[in-house]
Amino acid sequence: MDTDFQSKSSSPVIIDLKAQDLSKSNRKPPDPKRSWWKEASVYQIYPASFYDSDGDGFGDIRGIIGKLDYLKNLGVDVVWLCPVYESPQNDMGYDISNYREVHKPYGTVQDLEDLIEGLHHREIKIIMDLVVNHTSDKESRKSKTNSFRDWYIWRPPRIDSCGRRHPPNNWASIFGGSAWAYDVTTDEYYLHLFHNSQPDLNWENEDCVSAVHDILKFWLNKHVDGFRMDVINLISKTVGLPDAPVTLLDSAHQPAWMHYAHGPRLHEHLRGLRSILDKYNAFAVGEMPWVKEPEHVLKAVQGSRNELNMIFQFDIVDIDIGPTGKFTKLPWSLCDLRAIVEKWQKLMTQNDGWNALFLENHDQPRSVSRFASDKPEFRVYSAKMLATFLSFQAGTLYLFQGQDIGMVNVPKDWSLDEFKDVETKNFVEDFMGSTSASQSLLFAETMDQVRAKARDNSRTPFQWDSSANAGFTSGSPWMRVNDDYKVCNAKSQLEDPNSVFSYWQKILRLRRKLKNIFVYGDFELVDRSDNHIFAYQRSSTDGRAIVLCNFAACATSWEMPSEVGDICELDRIVLHNYSITSMPRIIHTHGKRVVEFLPFEAMVFVELHGGSNR
């Protein structure tokens, strides 16, 4: 198993703050704590599903190049490109066979260089996926003496008292089954935390580590601006690879994250990667599943440690996941969400860290369907409310393709045969293979959770217009287009001031104009107990803002706490996700002020110092 490391070859409203110049809040002297990547908004592109330029049914790099003006119009600062490297595509490109070549259906290295140039011409930076916990499988399984053998993790089988062969330990694969695959040619097992075609790299091998460093330099020399590092915290394993604790009594394979989520040499390796990035003024955001304890997170992101600039922290997107895995259900409340947001907002600002703000990506279902409502009467308001909730917190903002137009999960009546993702297929196969599955009281609920949380929900083709296949391809799409593309598509939203797209434009402009408040300001929860309203304050020496979001599918009222003061007045509102005819209703009664909310209503109020708001 090897990879070619070594080869060199509805209507939103913005009301102007009267008698104020919003741009004055940016007039600050240079600050070493400030960085371009802190102020950025990042747009993630899943290339197979973005736009197909040649009619073969798969999105490609030329397709992305053809849509660069769309991204510029939206107002994003950075594009994050999911893997386009050469790959057998067992896990949609996260199984890489050559890090210096492009997968042919996506295009060529020249196409990628043209994309980089086109983005930079529009003053948009680009980050690429760095997938170096595992690769595709190839050469090293040929023999035990193969030159790449020790670049992967091989172990002899365990033989029981009856002479039967077993994997070297009891670790479970994240995609189901054992984390070990037997190779008959060499009579040994190799470790694969993910698909069995994705063997884990051995970061104890210095030649392997050096090759990873060369990959960074190769793309940085082509003017890439940084990397999103896939499951980067898994690269160091517990010495000796011991058995995991038995927590699943009916399984031979046990969750073993405690032996690979933050291993003994992780931070040494992260510092090695960072030493290269700093020479190019590039940045890195790490994907770090199973890392939830503050001390472990801070070790990776504190500025003084020179490791990662930020990580994707998974507490919010894990909020509805039950104790036995992704496809089990867990009820959550707004109090749970508040606790998560406050924890990470405070932790980062008080400890020289930085947050990555996201609700969607290629591994998560659509946020409108998950955290609000995708019913026709609510979906637009829901999309705008969630955008408001997320975008004004402290951190770098990430939005995933389709989030900008309010795309939702696939219909619940889609057959499971429509789903393409290996994770979903493996789970369904294992679950259906259970002798009791078809009679289980949990069967229907589990299948509902599969449909609700499957990664394919976010991977359906982007909905460009109302023509055949949503304008994604002139051919036959690799994956079925979501049925609602005639109602939800980019073309219908571009010139509509009431659209989700237009709302995102206004959010990105507002973050940029008031970055001292919304990027670098302090964060405080305003109300810790309301069951429907998520309220928080952002403040700096420039002024303050109040962000109010109704997470309920019903009208509700909210009494303003006294500490809010008089900021919540109509002449201070700068963003609102309903129409001009549905302005917020603020009632003054008995010395109190009450805001009456419509379903999924959101609003932002700003008060700047040194200028009149009246």
With beta carbons less than 8 A apart as the criterion, state whether 363 and 455 touch: yes
- Min mean pLDDT across 15-19, 241-245, 592-596 is at 15-19
Res 32: pLDDT: 56
CA distance 59 to 66: 11
The length of the chain, given as a count of residues? 614
In the chain, where the domains are located: 22-136+205-417+456-508
For the segment 46-69, the average pLDDT, to the nearest whole number, is 98
The residue-averaged pLDDT of 331-341 equals 97
Percent of the chain with pLDDT over 70: 93
Active-site choice (95, 183, 287, 601): 287
Integer Cα distance of 196 and 152 in angstroms: 13
For residue 12, what pLDDT is reported?
A: 39
**Helix or strand (DSSP H, E) at 277:** helix 266-278
Q: What percent of the chain has pLDDT over 90?
A: 80
pLDDT confidence of residue 8: 40
pLDDT at residue number 1: 54
pLDDT digits (tens, 9 = 90+) for 208-255: 999 999 999 999 999 999 999 999 999 999 999 999 999 999 899 999
**Can you tell me the distance from the alpha carbon of 413 to that of 415, in angstroms, rounded to the nearest whole number?**
6
Q: Answer yes or no: is pLDDT of 584 > 50.
A: yes
Give the full edge-to-edge strand order of the sheet including 556-559.
556-559, 592-597, 585-589
pLDDT grade, residue 139 (50/70/90)? Answer: confident
Residues 6+ apart with CB under 8 A from 138: 1, 2, 3, 97
Residues 399 and 42: beta-carbon distance below 8 Å: yes
Residue 73 is which amino acid?
N
Is the pTM higher than 0.85?
yes
pLDDT at 133 over 80: yes
3-state secondary structure of 540: strand
Kindly tell me if the per-residue pLDDT of 420 is higher than 60: yes
Whether domain 22-136+205-417+456-508 has CATH 3.20.20.80: the reply is yes
pLDDT given for residue 300 in this prediction? 97
- Average pLDDT of the residues in 455-479: 97
Residue 145 to residue 156: CA distance in whole angstroms: 15
Distance of CA 104 to the CA centre of its chain: 26
pLDDT in tens, 355-401: 999 999 999 999 999 999 999 999 999 999 999 999 999 999 999 99
SS3 287: strand
- Would you tell me the crossing angle of helices 422-432 and 443-453 to the nearest 10 degrees? 180
User: What are residue 48's phi and psi, to 5 degrees?
Assistant: -60, -25
pLDDT on residue 29: 43
Q: Which of 91, 95, 200, 230 is catalytic?
A: 230
Q: Cα(83)–Cα(378) distance, rounded to whole angstroms?
A: 34
Q: Choose among 297, 236, 305, 232: nearest CA to 265.
A: 236
Burial of 439 (0-12, 13-18, 19+ CB in 10 A): exposed
Q: Is the pLDDT reported for residue 435 higher than 80?
A: no
Res 35: pLDDT: 94
Helix (H, G, I), strand (E, B) or coil at 594: strand
Q: How confident is the model at residue 564 (pLDDT cuts 50, 70, 90)?
A: confident
Q: What is the DSSP string of 490-552?
A: HHHHHT-TTSHHHHHHHHHHHHHHTHHHHTTSEEEES-SS-SSEEEEEEEETTEEEEEEEE-S
pLDDT of residue 57: 98
Residue 613: pLDDT over 90: no
Asked whether the predicted pLDDT for residue 551 surpasses 80, the reply is yes
Q: What's the chain's average pLDDT?
A: 92
* Strand, helix or coil for residue 148: coil
82 pLDDT exceeds 70?
yes
Average pLDDT, integer, range 497-513: 97
Q: How confident is the model at residue 13 (pLDDT cuts 50, 70, 90)?
A: very low
Contacts (Cβ under 8 Å, ≥6 apart) of 286:
228, 229, 232, 233, 270, 300, 308, 310, 311, 312
Q: What is the mean pLDDT of residues 549-573?
A: 91
Cβ atoms of 501 and 399 closer than 8 Å: no
CB distance 369 to 409 below 8 Å: yes
* 108-112, 424-428, 465-469: segment of lowest average pLDDT: 424-428
CB 365 within 8 A of CB 404: no
Predicted confidence band at 325 (pLDDT cuts at 50, 70, 90)?
A: confident
Average pLDDT over residues 325-353: 95
Residue 21's pLDDT band, with cuts at 50, 70 and 90, is very low
At 92, list the tokens.
């949609």
54 has catalytic annotation = no
Residue 417 CB partners (closer than 8 Å, separation 6+): none
Residues with Cβ within 8 Å of residue 186, at least 6 apart in sequence = 141, 143, 144, 154
Q: Which residues contact 281 (CB under 8 A, 6 or more apart)?
A: none
The band of 7, judged by pLDDT with boundaries at 50, 70 and 90, is very low
Confidence grade of residue 438 (pLDDT, cut at 50, 70, 90): low
- The per-residue pLDDT for range 299-318, each reduced to its tens digit, is 999 999 999 999 999 999 99
pLDDT at 440: 66
Strands (E), 88-124: 98-102
Residues whose CB falls within 8 Å of the CB of residue 45, separated by 6 or more in sequence, listed in order: 64, 79, 80, 81, 82, 401
CA 352 to chain CA centroid, Å, is 22
Amino acid identity, position 8: K
Are the C-beta atoms of 43 and 76 separated by less than 8 Å?
yes
d(CA 509, CA 512): 5
Instruction: Compute the average pLDDT of residues 150-169.
Output: 97
pLDDT at 288: 95
Look at the block and give the residue holding tokens 């979906």. 379
- Determine whether 230 is an active site residue: yes
CB half-sphere exposure, 397, CA atoms < 13 A: 29
Average pLDDT over residues 202-209: 98
pLDDT greater than 60 at residue 24: no
* Token pair in block for residue 313: 């922290």
Q: What is the dihedral of CA 231, 237, 243, 244, to 10 degrees?
A: -40
Q: Which of 14-23, 86-95, 177-186, 549-558 has the lowest average pLDDT?
A: 14-23
